Amino acid sequence: MTKLLEIRDLHTHFFTRDGIAKAVDGVSLSLERGQILGLVGESGSGKSVTGFSILGLVDAPGRVVSGQVLFDGTDLIAGGERLLRTLRGKRIAMIFQDPMMTLNPVLRIDTQMIETVRAHEDVSRDEALRRSREALVSVGISSPDERLETYPHQFSGGMRQRVAIAIALLHKPDLIIADEPTTALDVTIQAQILSEVQALCANSGTALIWITHDLAVVSGLADHLAVMYAGRIIEEGPTRDVIAQPMHPYTKGLIESVPRGKKHGALLSQIKGMTPSLLRLPSGCKFRPRCPRATAACEIEPALDVMDQGRRVRCVHPHTENYPEVLAK
């Protein structure tokens, strides 16, 4: 059986006045049906652009330069806008970061939901309305009839994000791409939404790409993790293994900078330096200038090496010291 999604050597570049920013620079990923993938990275690492590239929603001056996005065996890049439009919202849905901005402020909720249903299926307005109501109930919105007749600004941020999720669920898609959907919300709301999305995906067998900068959020959710840095994937593997034994110094740094509260008063470690500008990347390994392990050997860009247990890492000096023990566990 073909994989649900397979990205092969994707390159998405932004052609700015100051030069070409390679936001996505040779990313390959794959996803099974019903699987949850956590795509992790700092802002500017190319994780969101990867998500947008799948649906062909990269804004000018950016565009997908090369690569393949095979969805159920069909190449979306080659398929172009016409093919993409039939899939968007229908088989691949998207949830955005800021719920305050994703709903059109001058259109009522019912308008925005009904148009989504009718964009893909030739159904009556009443039928579309009925399905919208159902979707709202499924994301835990009470008195949906009332809610449908209101405007986005009458909702709280958490409620708006639920509406956005309901819109994403309208066609029971095979894949949802969620671009930091809980970042802008309060912590309590964040947890609610997280568990609801998890339950919804498990019930309907929907695969999920959860894009985030927050390892803590995604570690409890995702089956699989991919860590991005400067437009590339630098480490990938099953979530538990990656968290337990990060191999790339960057991943290790990310994990160690998450507060865990075990050692009260202990200083948090941090990754020194700042995210590099995509226009002025160093040669060789892109993490080299910030890396505690960097040597002269790092001046040649390492490949994404395949390790045991379905893991991949792009590093000359990976943390493999205790690796056998972890495997034996």
Partner 1 sequence: MIVYLVRRFGQSLLAVVAMAVLVFMGVYAIGNPVDVLISPEASQADIAAATARLGLDKPLWQQFGIFVINAFQGDLGTSFVYGRPALDIILERLPATFELAMVALFLSVGIGVPLGVWAGMRPESIAGRTIMAGSILGFSLPNFWQGMLLILVFAVLLGWLPAGGRGQTTEFLGMQVSFLTLDGLSHLILPAINLALFKMSLLIRLTRANTREVCLQDYVKFARAKGLSGRRVVLVHILKNIMIPVVTIIGLELGSMLAFAIVTETVFAWPGMGKLLIDSINLLDRPVIVAYLMLTVLIIVMINFMVDVIYSFLDPRIRLSEMKG
Partner 2 sequence: MTSTTTPEPQTPEPQTPEASDPVRIDSPVMRVVKQFVEDPVAVFGLVLFIAIAFVAIAAPWLAPQNPYDLAQLDIMDGGLPPGGTSFSGQVYWLGTDQQGRDMISAIMYGLRVSLLVASVSLGLAITIGTIVGVTAAYFGGRLDSLIMRVVDLQLSFPAILIALILLALLGRGVEKVILALVIVQWAYYARTVRSSAIVERRKDYIDAAKCLALTNRRIMFRHLLPNCVPPLIVVATVQIAQAIALEATLSFLGVGVPITEPSLGLLIANGYDYLLSGRYWISMFPGVALVLTIIAINLVGDRLRDVLNPRLQK
Whether residue 113 contacts residue 128, with contact meaning beta carbons closer than 8 Å, is answered with yes
Among positions 144-183, residues that touch partner 2 (CB under 8 A) are: none
Count, in order, helices (H) and strands (E) of the chain.
12, 12
60 binds, among partner 2, partner 1, none (CB under 5 to 8 A by kind): partner 1
Residue closer to partner 2 (CB basis): 67 or 318: 318
Selection from partner 2, partner 1, none that 289 binds (CB < 5 to 8 A by kind) is partner 2
- Residue from 288, 311, 312, 314 touching partner 2 (CB under 8 A): that is 288
CB closer to partner 1 out of 48 and 239: 48
Cβ of residue 298: shortest distance to partner 2, in angstroms?
A: 7
Stretch that binds partner 2, among 52-60, 262-270, 285-293, 302-310 (CB under 8 A): 285-293
Site residues for partner 1 per CB under 8 A: 55, 57, 59-60, 85-90, 93-94, 96-98, 101-108, 115-116, 119-120, 151, 153-154, 164, 167
For partner 1, the closer CB: 136 or 243: 136
| Nearest residue to 158 via CA among 182, 129, 126, 180 | 182
The nearest distance, CB 173 to partner 1, in angstroms, is: 10
Residues 6+ apart with CB under 8 A from 18: 279
**46 three-state secondary structure:** coil
Residue 213 touches which of partner 2, partner 1, none (Cβ within 5-8 Å per kind): none
Query: Judged by CB, which is closer to partner 2: 264, or 280?
Result: 280
Q: Which does 218 bind (CB under 5 to 8 A by kind): partner 1, partner 2, none?
A: none
Q: At what angle do helices 157-169 and 187-204 cross, to 10 degrees?
A: 10
Closest to partner 2 by CB, 34 vs 276, is: 276
Q: Which residue, 53, 110, 104, 101, is CA-closest to 76?
A: 53
| 151 vs 323 by CB, closer to partner 2 | 323
Give the whole-angstrom CA distance, residue 250 versus residue 234: 8
In degrees to the nearest 10, what's the CA dihedral of 40, 41, 42, 43?
-90
Pick 238 or 289: Cβ nearer partner 2 = 289
Q: Give the Cα separation of 212 and 142 in Å (integer).
A: 29
* Helical segments of 8-72, H only: 47-54
C-beta closer to partner 1: residue 75 or 115: 115
186: left (phi over 0), alpha (psi -120 to 50) or beta: beta
Taking CB within 5 to 8 Å according to partner kind, which of partner 2, partner 1, none is near residue 327? none
**What would the x/- binding string for partner 2 be over residues 185 to 224, using CB under 8 A?**
----------------------------------------
- Least distance in Å: CB of 273 to partner 2? 5
Per-residue binding letters, 3-42, with partner 2 (x by CB under 8 A): ---------------x------------------------
| DSSP calls for 75-125 | EHHHHHHHHHHHHBTTTEEEE-S-HHHHS-TTS-HHHHHHHHHHHHS---H
Q: Which stretch binds partner 2 (CB under 8 A): 52-60, 128-136, 201-209, 275-283?
A: 275-283
DSSP states of 122-188: ---HHHHHHHHHHHHHHTT-SSHHHHHTS-GGGS-HHHHHHHHHHHHHTT--SEEEEESTTTTS-HH
- Using only C-alpha atoms, the chain has a radius of gyration, in whole angstroms, of 21
